[in-house]
Amino acid sequence: MKPHPLFRGLLLATALVASAFAKPITVGFAQTGAESAWRTANTNSMKSEAEKRGITLKFADAQGKQENQIRAVSTFIAQGVDAIVIAPIVETGWEPILRQAKRAKIPVIITDRTVQVSDESLYACFIGSDFYTEGKMAAEWLAKAVNGQGNIVELQGTPGSAPANERRKAFAENIAPFPGLKIIDSQSGDFRRSGGKEVMESLLKKHGKAITIVYAHNDDMALGAIQAIEEAGLKPGKDILIVSIDAIKEAVQAVAAGKLACTVECNPLFGPKVYDTIAKILAGETVPKKAFNKDELFDATNAAAALPSRQY
């Protein structure tokens, strides 16, 4: 049965009040893909918050390919959406499509991963985590935990992506004061659990027991590496210490279980912040050019207590 027109009007009015938009709006979201549990949580946050606020969300999953993302943005421009959100797969190669959006006067909000552009006015603002700080937190925690000694293998994220670039640089720079900490190998597992497992299997074959530490650019790869370590007959947390980034619930559980030494949070639940920002931009307000989420670290001291309230 169709709701009475008066009731429908009431629903629409409620949605508009909740969303803080003067009229119903359409947002195009060019998402990276579905490579990790973090990404799924981010997609859910963007979708569920849009629904709550009565926003029409056009969602495009680029399946890990920048050309798909660029095509999706081009379609959003042709459709005349009110705002475009991009979680850029890699940092470079965005200028031409951002110029098109600017010419069409459609504000672009860069989320999650940063872009390298010569003209910062090509996008309205950035919302996400500070990947350099995450890598630094992991390095500092590790140096203290192992007293500045150990052979590290690094599982990198997607080559050319901001989190892989920044987490790699930050970690290397912040273990540099400890000559006893050495990165003996570094390979990409593409932020995927299967990638982390495969790379770890081959690293174990190559370096054997020389490996004492794994630094993974995300939890999915760390969890894949844990599987590989166990299948090789070694004990994660004892024979090999593993540190990673994201703080997905499964990783915090692994910390509580003693398999993962620590995980630095990278909060993906910024859907509400994105739509609040879009509302301000469309109302002509000025918004901060870069808004970073605040992230914390989970280790044996706080993981178990944090578990009941983990949202992703």
Q: Which is nearer to ligand AHR, 49 or 166 (CB)?
A: 166
Q: Which of 175, 58, 188, 36 shows the shortest CA–CA distance to 112? A: 36
CA distance 60 to 272: 19
Query: Does residue 281 contact residue 124 with C-beta atoms inside 8 Å?
Result: yes
Per-residue CA distances from 239 to 147, 153, 162, 254 (Å): 16, 14, 31, 15
Q: Which is nearer to ligand AHR, 15 or 34 (CB)?
A: 34
Residue carrying the six token digits 């909060």: 267
CB of 260 to ligand AHR, least distance (A): 14
CB of 94 to ligand AHR, least distance (A): 15
Q: Which is nearer to ligand AHR, 138 or 279 (CB)?
A: 138
Q: Which of 179, 231, 229, 181 shows the shortest CA–CA distance to 209? A: 229
Q: Interface with ligand AHR by CB under 6 A: which residues?
A: 35-36, 38-39, 112-113, 163, 191, 218, 220, 245-246, 266
CB of 163 to ligand AHR, least distance (A): 4
Q: Which is nearer to ligand AHR, 54 or 189 (CB)?
A: 189
Q: Which is nearer to ligand AHR, 167 or 259 (CB)?
A: 167
CB of 110 to ligand AHR, least distance (A): 12
Q: For the chain, how big is the Rg over CA atoms in Å?
A: 21
3-state secondary structure of 60: strand
CB of 224 to ligand AHR, least distance (A): 12
Nearest-5° Cα angle at 303, 133 to 200: 70
Extract the tokens encoding 58: 């056009």
